[in-house]
Each structure stands twice: as structure tokens, then as C-alpha cells.
Amino acid sequence: MNHSVAVVLGAIGAGIGGDLFVRGVVGLAHWARVSAGIIGATVAAFATSSPELSVAISSALDQKPQISLGDVLGSNVVNVALILALALLIAGVQSSRDSIKRDFPAALVTPIVIGLLSLDGVLSQLDGFVLLSIFLVWLIAVILEARRQQSASDEVLGESRSWLAVILCVVGLGLLILAAHLIVGGATGIALAFGVDEFVIGATIVAVGTSMPELATTIVSRLRGHEEVALGTILGSNIFNSLWVVGVAAAISPIAVNWQEVSVALVFGVLTVILTFPTSRGRIERRRGAVLLALYLVYLVIIIN
């Protein structure tokens, strides 16, 4: 298949899959009697991070885990500086500080943890297990929060029939993963034809491609008015990427770290997450979308050069 055609088909598939997936996710929140934000930060975030996990496992088994590290760190920047930015340009996001008190600190600290663990120039298998242990602690905190919320059932829009919500999630996720693979394959083929460096491909093109599920989920949920799903998916996906995906990759094969390349993605990862913190009125203003997009362009210029 022509690389350009693959990219176009992938974009179409992402749009359709995103719509189905969001409807299913919100329906699951209704059925489970927890907030859509909890489902977004767990089920949706885990599902939309599956392309990054696939890249991590395959690249680690091929003894090329640097591609996975570039993909994950690049995806974290893309998730906020591109995807959330586009959602904000549609309209500002309403989100109280209380609603992100668990996920915001975790998303902010995880890039710093990766940076500290890689100071010796390598993310070892032990480092991988450290990241997985931190992920387990965060996941337990999410589960405990979900149990506290089950006493109150929120009225949310979505598919209230649990079996249909699951089907929509599965079909939508399947389309999202297929779309991501088409975009990654097509874009990578185009980049290799122009002789682009492997880490740069991972941190830019592959990162955007594997972030297509987050892009579709965030934009569709924003258009449907499910702001909690959009922000929860973004923050949750960054946590999954940094702790779960990098942890799995490092546990399979130690990752040699080139600080000149990695430090850029880590710094921008922290800066962009800081800009997701709501105001005292519980609002992430529309203008932050423009600031985030500007940061993303600066990131691209630095990482490519």
C-alpha cells in the first residue's frame, strides 16, 4: 500500500474509531457508577496507550528499545502540546483542581523520575521494575478512588447498556489501533525514504502516529461535551506511557540513553503538563491551546535539528 494512502486511511479510521470508543467509555462510566474522568484515566488511557506498548515490546525484543523511549517521550509531548492544544482551541476545558489532584502530580513527576533513573546513561531492567512499581501504586490509588465513587451514580451521556458499551469500546479501539498502525507505517516509510534519524522518527512521526487514539478520543469527547474524558485520557495516557510502557520496555531490554536527545523531550514533557493545571475557577483557558501549540513547534525544531 502507498505510504500516503495508508496515512489518509489511518486518519479516517481514527475519526470513526474515536467516536465509537468515546461513546463506549462514557457508557462504561455510567454502568460502573464512577466519574467519566476515572474511566478516562484508566480504561481509555490504557487502551489508547496500546500502540505505544506494542512499539515498546517489539522494539525491545529487536534490541532497539531507543525507538520505544523516543516514541513514549515524544507521545507525552504530543498528547498535551498538540492533542490537548487542539481540544482547547475548540473551546476552553472546565476541570476543577480537585478532579485532577491524583493524576496531575503523577503526570508531572513521571518524566522527572525517568530523568533521574537515566542519569547513569541507561534505563536498566531494575529501573524498569522501579517504574512498574510506581505505576502499581498509582493504579491502586485510582481503584480506591473508583470504589469511593460507586456510592453515587452520575448521570452521563453515552451508551447505558453495559454490553453495548463494551462492544463499542472494543470495535472503536480496534479501529484506533489499526489507524495508528497505518499512520505509523505510512509516515515512517516516508521519513526513512528521506533518511531521517531513528530516534527522531520515534520522537516525532511514530509518536504522532501512536497518539492517534488519544487524538481521536480527546477531540471527539470534547465535541460531545465530555471534558472529563478528554483531560483524564491525556493525563492517564502520559502516566501509562512513562511508567507502564517504559517500564515494560526497560524490563525486557536495558535502554541506552542519549541525554542530548532525551533531555529535550523530558523538559518539554514537564513544561506542557504544567500548562494543564486549571485556574482557581477550574478552567483551562482557550488561549493555552495556542501556547501549547507554540511549544510543540519549538519542540519539533529542536528535536529535528
Q: What is the pLDDT of residue 262?
A: 85
Length of the chain (residues): 305
205, 74 in Cβ contact below 8 A? Answer: no
Q: Within a 10 A sphere around the Cβ of 137, how many other Cβ atoms?
A: 10
User: Cell 478552567 identifies what position?
Assistant: 283
What is the rounded CA–CA span in Å between residue 278 and residue 212?
25
**Grid cell for residue 251:** 524490563
Q: What is the pLDDT of residue 196?
A: 64
CA-nearest of 16, 269, 253, 43 to 139 is 43
60, 41 in Cβ contact below 8 A? Answer: no
Q: Within a 10 A sphere around the Cβ of 133, how many other Cβ atoms?
A: 11
Q: What is the pLDDT of residue 158?
A: 44
Residue 122 pairs with which residues in a beta bridge?
256
CA-nearest of 117, 136, 130, 114 to 251 is 130
**Grid cell for residue 232:** 483524564
pLDDT in tens, the chain (305 residues): 676 677 667 666 766 766 666 667 666 666 666 565 566 566 666 666 766 777 677 767 777 677 678 778 888 898 899 888 988 888 788 777 777 787 889 999 999 999 999 888 899 999 999 999 999 998 888 877 767 765 544 444 444 566 677 787 778 777 766 776 676 667 667 666 766 665 676 677 777 776 776 777 777 777 766 666 677 778 888 998 899 889 988 898 888 888 877 888 899 999 999 998 988 888 888 899 999 999 999 998 888 77
185 phi, psi to nearest 5 deg: -65, -45
Domains and CATH numbers, the chain: 3-304 (1.20.1420.30)
What is the rounded CA–CA span in Å between residue 11 and residue 195?
24
SS (H, E, C) the chain: CCHHHHHHHHHHHHHHHHHHHHHHHHHHHHHHCCCHHHHHHHHHHHHHCHHHHHHHHHHHHCCCHHHHHHHHHHHHHHHHHHHHHHHHHHCCEECCHHHHCCHHHHHHHHHHHHHHHCCCCEECHHHHHHHHHHHHHHHHHHHHHHHHHCCCCCCCCCCCCHHHHHHHHHHHHHHHHHHHHHHHHHHHHHHHHCCCCHHHHHHHHHHHHHCHHHHHHHHHHHHCCCHHHHHHHHHHHHHHHHHHHHHHHHHHCCEECCHHHHHHHHHHHHHHHHCCCCCCCCEECCHHHHHHHHHHHHHHHHHHC
**Grid cell for residue 95:** 476541570
